[in-house]
Amino acid sequence: QIAKGSHGGDKHVADSFVYAFDIDGVLVRGGKPIPEAIEAMRVLDGDNEYNIVVPHIFLTNGGGKTEEERCRDLSRQLGREIKTGQFICGHTPMREMAERYKTVLVVGGEGEKCRHVAEGYGFKDVVTPGDIIKHNEAVAPFRKLTAEEYANSRRRSFSRDVIDAIFVFADSRDWASDIQIMVDLAMSQGGRIGTLSTTFDEGPPIYFSHNDVVWSAAHEQVRLGMGALRRMFEVIFSDLTGGKGKARIHAFGKPQVSTFEFASRLMSDWRTTEHGLVGSLKTVYFVGDTPESDIRGTNAVNEASDDDWYSILVKTGVYQEGNTPTYEPRVTVDTVLDAVKHGIKREM
């Protein structure tokens, strides 16, 4: 019992179920809140006929900023405080790789932001495509660094450096030069800049923070995402190596089951620290707009774990009314507000 509910009586915290939300296409679109999202958050805070407060977390494939900055953005968009303890973005699990690799290339995002995110995760030596272009502008004939980019990019000789791994943290802002540099490294002798392998199977591993080919932004049609960059990289690498090359490619984010398991651990900590709850859960409701990531992943973790993960598809993003979803949700509803009401009603 934590407070008086707006429907009379005391508010209670739900101890048997939680919600996890995708962000783009569910709560936000093109940087603006989807109107029903604000009301959905109020319902979760106990403004419902049962006076029940529902613990919840956020799990987005997006990224490009620190978790703190992303939470500040989301707090502003939804008009309420979102804390880092309830938030996972596409690159959050990359934090666990910081000890494994010494020198890493970080691709994507605005300016120096992703370098700072990677350094904040504990990566020791972070190189950006800008550093490589500053060293040798012939790498990308049509890419001219702006004065600010030139000043921020770090000067180094690269003569003895080996890029141990490539991490695509966020969407590329210059696909041509980023793909060029990724292909150069994938075709190099063990990640040495400026070298060319004869076998094309010794490049550094490449980690993408997610695989989404498209996502839901401000435009009425879906927009190309990081998965499209990956496909372009793969096709070009294969063409250039005559199909003989081998690139070691991994993806984090949804629909990977490991990402949902990571979310499960965060959820359990959040329930305890924020709501003082311990003990097992009955159901995790996951609300998403992309069948290939959100619904596929939720259904897969439901199969793989003892918890009941319940997939809810909304119609405000990638999935559109009239299409057949490539992965079948437990239920399809119009908006995130309907998704929240659906689960609460089912539980009460």
| Residues forming the site for ligand G3P (CB under 6 A) | 22-25, 60-62, 171, 210, 212, 215, 225, 290
Out of Mg ion, ligand G3P, none, what residue 302 binds, judged by CB under 5 to 8 A for its kind, is none
Instruction: Report the distance separating Cα 272 and Cα 204, nearest Å.
Output: 40
Say if residues 80 and 41 touch (Cβ distance below 8 Å).
yes
Work out the angle between the directed axes of helices 175-186 and 226-240 (0-180°, nearest 10): 50
Closer Cβ to Mg ion, 306 or 321, answer by number: 321
String of b and e for 41-57 (b: at least 16 CB within 10 Å)? Answer: bbbbbbbbebbbbbbbb
Minimum distance from CB of 335 to ligand G3P (Å)? 15
Instruction: Determine if 203 is a binding residue for Mg ion (CB under 5 A).
Output: no
DSSP string, 215-273: E--SSSS-EE-HHHHHHHHHHHHHHHTTT-----EEE-STT-HHHHHHHHHHHHHHHHH
Out of Mg ion, ligand G3P, none, what residue 225 binds, judged by CB under 5 to 8 A for its kind, is ligand G3P
Out of ligand G3P, Mg ion, none, what residue 56 binds, judged by CB under 5 to 8 A for its kind, is none
Residue 223's closest CA among 20, 35, 62, 27? 62
Structure tokens belonging to residue 324 = 């057949």
Minimum distance from CB of 30 to ligand G3P (Å)? 12
Other beta carbons less than 10 A from residue 215's beta carbon: 25
Q: How many residues bind Mg ion (CB under 5 A)?
A: 5
Closer Cβ to ligand G3P, 60 or 311, answer by number: 60
Minimum distance from CB of 182 to ligand G3P (Å)? 18
Minimum distance from CB of 290 to ligand G3P (Å)? 6
Of the candidate residues 20, 22, 36, 103, the single one contacting Mg ion (CB under 5 A): 22
Closer Cβ to Mg ion, 60 or 188, answer by number: 60
Interaction site with Mg ion (CB under 5 A) = 22, 24-25, 289-290
